[in-house]
Structure 1
Amino acid sequence: MQQAIAILDSGVGGLTVVKEVMRQLPQEKIIYFGDTARTPYGPRTSEEVVQFTRQIVDYLVQFQPKMIVIACNTATAVALEDIRSRVNVPVVGVIHPGARAAIKATQTGVVGVIGTDGTIRSGAYLNALKQISPAIQVVSRSCPDFVPMVEKGLFRSPETHKVVEKSLEGLSFPPMDCLILGCTHYPFLADTIGEVMGPNVSLISSADETAREISTILYQTNHLARSHETPIHQFFCSGEPAMFRHIAQDWLGEQIMLQPVVWQSPSIT
């Protein structure tokens, strides 16, 4: 049986990573877990986020995945090393790939970062960016209202535009030329964020770079899928399944329509 890539998130945000993995690695089987019953993770304590992430990983290891992807910036910031110490497969986070993409993109050396309270409070992006380029200037801001809107499927409404505009007020100023979407939920709002920030600020999503890192690790460890059969993906959510499925199908579009999917609602507590 083909081993899967296990991808987990606090809710639907990790679907942005799923979409890129499906696009770049169409033969790979994906098992996705969205903790929609306990989202958002941003306002929670580090101890809670580590506990929740451990519970999800403990659930996912029964499927014997060949890799675990923590597609949640908050969980990556506080739980990545903990999870790496607990499992014997590669564990990938989303912060360092996003930081690398921003360093490549910036011409001015001034990078903005928006994320949840937990991610910004951790300083994970600041540290990752400084590790790569010590001279980089970083402007950070938490946007706690974004995740609840996305989880409700409200990412194209006029009200959403007002919330985004208010949350990002005063953030766009020269010489910042790129903005890291430091939460995997935020690409759902990318069109609106782009309108608010203006054409001179490039938006950096870690999803593309994370998918490339996944591909590189699987290639180096000789674990890329060899089967030419269409993979059967599995999607789990801990909360209301109807909204989760609606958002997943809307976001993934044709990619999910062309491949068989099993939708399940597990109990992990």
Structure 2
Amino acid sequence: MLYLADRASFPYGAKSEDALLASVGRAAQTLESLGASSIILASNAPSVTVLEPLRARVQVPILGVLPPVRAALTAIPDDRTLAVAGASVLVHSDALRHLISDAAGADADRVHAVAADELIALVESGAFLDQAKVEHPIAQFVAALRQQHPQLGGLSLSSTHMPWLATAIAEEAPDIMLFDPADDVVAEFARLATHGSGSLECLATESHRHPIQDFRTMLEKMRLDITPTLIEL
């Protein structure tokens, strides 16, 4: 398995859709050139907004991570609403509005797209590894959500950064059901996977704001036996 952490492209939330496509296009083409037989685009924003044009740039199958809107609405009580939380470029996109409309149908008014850039930044920076640094931002985020959407019953963690904060969010809001969009893509990938054993190779890009050493430090704090190799796309 090749795991590419394209830290040079952070933050996605501030990018236009064209800039997103350029970033993930470079990443996908690099993975394909290194022998990947399929690719998981492990980011909600480009999965919703630019997945189809991205697929046209490579020859191998690409799977995206999409908000589980219909499943979430089915799971929460009928008188409750669902928030889809993600990067600003996702939240304000026509693509997300169309996805919600198609998935929710007559229940589309029960679904609210909310920007969570401040929470995503906690993970990008590594601050999420220190509980004291996340408690206040999460409490503020949840309080603002409750004020804006008093009937909130579910929250889709529609940034692949946000599940790292799921435990802290659940402690702050135990009455709100949390949904991880990655669950569906794992099941979908099963048809492309092969049996056997292998190895994990981690590749990473860097920027002045997100140097590779910071990434290595995060991996060490998480006690993950992963050594990233620096590359340029």
2:4 alignment partner in structure 1: 33
Number of residues paired by the alignment? Answer: 223
> In 2 relative to 1, CA 235–180 (structure 1 residues): closer, same or farther, beyond 3 Å?
same
Are residue 153 (structure 1) and residue 129 (structure 2) matched?
A: no
1:20 alignment partner in structure 2: none
How far off its partner does 1:129 sit? 3.3
Aligned 8 A contact 1:126 1:138 in 2:
no
How far off its partner does 1:128 sit? 2.4
2:45 alignment partner in structure 1: 74
CA distance in 2: counterparts of 1:124 and 1:100, whole angstroms: 16
Which amino acid counterpart does residue 208 of structure 1 have in structure 2?
A: D
Which amino acid counterpart does residue 179 of structure 2 have in structure 1?
A: I
CA distance in 1: counterparts of 2:62 and 2:144, whole angstroms: 36
Which amino acid counterpart does residue 200 of structure 2 have in structure 1?
A: H
Alignment of 1:185-224 (within 5 A): 185-196=161-172, 198-215=173-190, 217-218=191-192, 224=193
Aligned 8 A contact 2:43 2:160 in 1:
yes
Give the root-mean-square deviation of aligned CA atoms: 2.2
Are residue 232 (structure 1) and residue 205 (structure 2) matched?
A: no
1:84 alignment partner in structure 2: 55
2:87 alignment partner in structure 1: 116
Could you tell me the TM-score, scaled by structure 2's length? Answer: 0.85
CA distance in 1: counterparts of 2:49 and 2:99, whole angstroms: 13
> In 2 relative to 1, CA 94–249 (structure 1 residues): closer, same or farther, beyond 3 Å?
farther
> In 2 relative to 1, CA 85–111 (structure 1 residues): closer, same or farther, beyond 3 Å?
same
Alpha-carbon displacement from aligned partner over 1:201-232 (angstroms, at most 9, x marks no partner):
111111222111111x32xxxxx3133x3x11
Unaligned stretches of 5+ in structure 1?
1-29, 219-223
Could you tell me the TM-score, scaled by structure 1's length? Answer: 0.75
The runs of 4+ residues in structure 1 deviating greater than 6 Å are none
CA distance in 2: counterparts of 1:248 and 1:214, whole angstroms: 25
Unaligned stretches of 5+ in structure 2?
none
Are residue 144 (structure 1) and residue 117 (structure 2) matched?
A: yes
